Amino acid sequence: MSLALQIRDLHASVGSVEILRGVDLDIGFGEVHAVMGPNGSGKSTLCHVLTGKDGYEVSGSALLDGTEVLGLEVDERARLGLLQAFQYPVEIPGVKLSELLREAAEEWGADPEATLTRARELAERLGATEFLDRSVNDDLSGGEKKRSEILQMAVLRPKAALLDEIDSGLDIDAVREVAAAVEEMRGPDLGVLLITHYSRILRYLRADRIHVMMDGRIVCSGGPELADELEAEGYEGLRERLGLQPEPTPSERRPSDFFTDTPFDF
Ligand code: ADP
Ligand code: MG
């Protein structure tokens, strides 16, 4: 049986700066995997490369339910069922979320009425009913925006959901609500990649596997207990325990091209 996401030897660079340096990851259907790591380790880049954002040179493989997505256009990947929720959701004043979902359904060739019925059911479960008749993300608190994003995703029934720091900037009650929304979305037809800087959200959300990314690689994977270990020893403690040399950040690596004396083209 194919996996929701199967990533093999994924590399990504911008100019001569290598950001992802060989990522392997298997996320089965029904599973939630968390990728944790210090700032600048390549977590957001992983999401960008999977969704097909421009500007990266990419090699390796990323199978979505058995279909290679690298090289496809952004909207093709989305139609195949790969969706990302954003760290900073955009606001669309004047457009109701229900209207947006109706248009998205039409665009995707789904029945708009059935989609809206499903949206109302899901919204009730996510405690997000009132968002449907308000402008998209307009005047919503941080936590409400994230729940609204999860609702938008869940309505479109992705096969793989990429959640990049959906817990950032939230107070503790909002983190708990967002975690509950992710648990609500969990299901046998979906694999979730949850990216987080802090282990806080993992107190309220059961991740099947936790992976630590450093310097563009997954350096360590484990069960939910890995979050507690990280909390205790910190990323630097883990780096020492694994005997990893601190790598220069890509911006530090950047000026090293003294042979050509050519400024890098970003
Ligand atoms: P994280 O999400 O783990 O904090 P990112 O994936 O955003 O990390 O970034 C990883 C590293 O790659 C950072 O050092 C960042 O400065 C660098 N980087 C990301 N995107 C670009 C880009 N388009 N051009 C140059 N450097 C980039
Ligand atoms: Mg990031």
- Over range 219-245, report the average pLDDT: 92
Reported as a single tens digit per residue, the pLDDT across 118-176 is: 899 988 888 888 889 888 877 788 888 888 888 888 888 899 999 998 888 888 888 89
Query: What is the whole-number distance in angstroms between the Cα of residue 89 and the centre of ligand 1?
Result: 19
DSSP string of 150-210, one letter each residue: HHHHHHT--SEEEEESTTTT--HHHHHHHHHHHHHH--TT-EEEEEESSSGGGGTS--SEE
Residue nearest to atom 14 of ligand 1 (CA): 40
- Over range 79-105, report the average pLDDT: 82
pTM: 0.88
Query: What is the whole-number distance in angstroms between the Cα of residue 201 and the centre of ligand 1?
Result: 23
**Range 5-87+158-256 has CATH code 3.90.1150.60:** no
Ligand 1 atom with minimal separation from the 48 CA: 6
Reported as a single tens digit per residue, the pLDDT across 179-214 is: 988 898 899 999 999 999 888 899 999 999 999 999
The per-residue pLDDT for 126 is 82
Ligand 1 atom with minimal separation from the 216 CA: 10
State the ligand closest to the CA atom of 166. Answer: 2
The per-residue pLDDT for 88 is 61
Query: What is the whole-number distance in angstroms between the Cα of residue 42 and the centre of ligand 1?
Result: 6
Residue nearest to atom 19 of ligand 1 (CA): 45
Distance CA 169, CA 151 (A): 19
The per-residue pLDDT for 198 is 84
Distance CA 187, CA 75 (A): 23
